[in-house]
C-alpha cells in the first residue's frame, strides 16, 4: 500500500509516503537535484526496502524523530543493508539504535541541497525532535503533532507539550504536516465533541470521512488547517473551553484537560 505525494515543482523536496505497521506512515524524502535520500523514521525495515525498490531511490540517511520502536525499529537493519547515516535527537541519543549524528534545537540538517531546521519538541518523549523544511513548506512532526491531535504524554508534562506545539504554530499556513500516524478520523470525532460548531472542523471531517471510506490517507494536513481544527492548538477557543468547563482558564490547563479526555476517548 503506497502512495506518492510529490511536492510542487517549485520545491526540490520529493516525498514518498506509505503506510506501515498498523497505522504508521513511513516517508522517504529526497532532494530532486542531488538524489540525496532519507527515511523519516523506520517503522519497518521491510516496508522501507520495498519503498526504496519501488522509487529506485538510494538511502543515505535516517532522520529519527524519537526513540519508540515504531519509529526506530528498522534502524539497524537498514544501516547494515545500505550504510546510511542515522540522525536523531541528542537528548535521547542513547535510545536511538545506531545513531551517528545527534541533533537538537537550532541545528540544521542537510539533505543534498535541502535544509531542515531541528526543533526540540519534548512531551510525547523527553527527546522528541521535528524536522522543518522551511523553503519547501513541509514539516515532519513524528508523534508530536498529528492531524487534529497530538502525541500522548508518555515522558513529558502538559506544559512541555504546550511549549512544543507553540513552536510549530507560527509556521506558514501552507506548510504540509507529515505526521507519523493515521489517527485523523478518531482525533476529529473527539475534536467535534469539544467544538461542535467549528465550521472548519465540520468541513474537514466530512472530507476525512470520505477519504477514510475510500481507504485513502488524510495526511499530509497543513498548518493552516491544523490551527483551525486541532483542539491541541486551540486551547484559546471559547467553545472548547466551555465544553471542558474551563472558560477563561490558563491555556496550559485547557491543553492538559483536553489531553486527559482524549486518553479516555
Ligand atoms: Zn511514539
Ligand atoms: Fe508512534
- CA neighbor of 77 nearest in space, from 39, 130, 113: 39
pLDDT bin (cut points 50, 70, 90) of residue 1 is very low
200 belongs to the catalytic site: no
Is pLDDT at 4 greater than 50 in this prediction? no
67 belongs to the catalytic site: no
* Contact by Cβ (8 Å): 142, 41: yes
Interval between CA 98 and ligand 2 midpoint (Å): 19
Identify the architecture of domain 3-264 in CATH: 4-Layer Sandwich (3.60)
**Torsion (CA) 256, 259, 260, 265 in degrees, nearest 10:** 160
Query: What's the average model confidence in pLDDT over 91-112?
Result: 98
Interval between CA 165 and ligand 1 midpoint (Å): 16
Query: What's the average model confidence in pLDDT over 60-77?
Result: 98
Is pLDDT at 119 greater than 80 in this prediction? yes
CA distance 72 to 144: 16
The phi-psi region of residue 90 (left if phi > 0; otherwise alpha if psi is between -120 and 50; otherwise beta) is alpha
Contacts of 222 (CB under 8 A, 6+ apart): 173, 174, 175, 176, 177
How much is the pLDDT for 11?
A: 80
How much is the pLDDT for 73?
A: 98
| Domain chopping of the chain, boundaries | 3-264
Catalytic-role residue among 47, 60, 66, 136: 66
71 belongs to the catalytic site: yes
Query: What's the average model confidence in pLDDT over 75-92?
Result: 98
68 belongs to the catalytic site: yes
Catalytic-role residue among 31, 68, 92, 120: 68
How much is the pLDDT for 7?
A: 44
pLDDT bin (cut points 50, 70, 90) of residue 160 is very high
Catalytic-role residue among 41, 47, 67, 71: 71
- Which ligand number lies closest to the CA of residue 154? 1
What is the gyration radius of the CA atoms in the chain, in angstroms? 18
pLDDT bin (cut points 50, 70, 90) of residue 10 is low
Reported as a single tens digit per residue, the pLDDT across 232-243 is 999 999 999 999
Is pLDDT at 53 greater than 60 in this prediction? yes
Interval between CA 248 and ligand 2 midpoint (Å): 33
* Contact by Cβ (8 Å): 167, 124: no
Is pLDDT at 108 greater than 50 in this prediction? yes
Query: What's the average model confidence in pLDDT over 213-241?
Result: 98
Interval between CA 218 and ligand 1 midpoint (Å): 19
Question: How wide is the angle at C-alpha 222 spanned by C-alphas 217 and 223, nearest 5°?
Answer: 145
CA distance 28 to 204: 26
Contacts of 62 (CB under 8 A, 6+ apart): 38, 39, 41, 42, 75, 78, 79, 84, 85, 86, 87, 88
9 belongs to the catalytic site: no
The rounded mean pLDDT for the chain is 96
Query: What's the average model confidence in pLDDT over 94-109?
Result: 98
Query: What's the average model confidence in pLDDT over 57-64?
Result: 98
Per DSSP, the three-state class of 104 is coil
Amino acid at each position: 500500500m503506497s502512495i506518492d505525494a510529490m511536492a510542487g515543482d517549485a520545491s526540490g523536496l520529493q516525498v514518498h509516503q506509505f503506510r506501515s505497521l498498523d497505522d504508521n506512515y513511513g516517508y522517504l524524502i529526497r532532494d530532486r537535484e542531488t538524489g540525496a535520500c532519507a527515511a523519516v523514521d523506520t517503522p519497518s525495515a521491510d516496508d522501507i526496502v520495498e519503498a526504496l525498490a519501488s522509487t529506485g531511490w538510494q538511502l543515505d540517511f535516517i532522520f529519527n524523530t524519537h526513540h519508540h520502536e515504531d519509529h526506530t525499529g528498522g534502524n539497524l537493519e537498514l544501516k547494515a543493508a545500505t550504510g546510511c547515516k542515522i540522525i536523531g535527537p541528542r537528548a535521547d541519543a542513547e535510545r536511538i539504535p545506531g545513531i551517528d549524528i545527534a541533533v537538537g534545537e537550532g541545528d540544521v540538517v542537510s539533505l543534498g541541497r535541502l535544509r531542515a531546521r531541528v526543533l526540540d519538541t519534548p512531551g510525547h518523549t523527553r527527546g522528541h525532535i521535528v524536522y522543518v523544511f522551511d523553503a519547501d513548506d513541509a514539516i515532519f512532526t513524528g508523534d508530536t503533532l498529528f492531524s487534529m491531535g497530538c502525541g500522548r504524554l508518555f515522558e513529558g508534562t502538559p506544559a512541555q507539550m504546550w511549549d512544543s506545539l507553540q513552536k510549530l504554530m507560527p509556521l506558514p499556513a501552507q506548510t504540509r504536516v507529515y505526521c507519523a500516524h493515521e489517527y485523523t478520523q478518531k482525533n476529529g470525532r473527539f475534536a467535534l465533541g469539544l467544538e461542535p460548531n467549528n465550521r472548519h472542523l465540520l468541513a474537514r471531517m466530512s472530507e476525512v470521512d470520505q477519504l477514510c471510506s475510500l481507504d485513502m490517507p488524510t495526511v499530509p494536513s497543513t498548518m493552516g488547517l491544523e490551527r483551525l481544527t486541532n483542539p491541541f492548538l486551540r486551547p484559546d477557543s471559547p467553545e472548547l473551553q466551555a465544553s471542558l468547563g474551563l472558560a477563561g482558564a490558563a491555556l496550559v490547563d485547557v491543553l492538559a484537560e483536553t489531553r486527559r479526555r482524549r486518553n479516555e476517548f
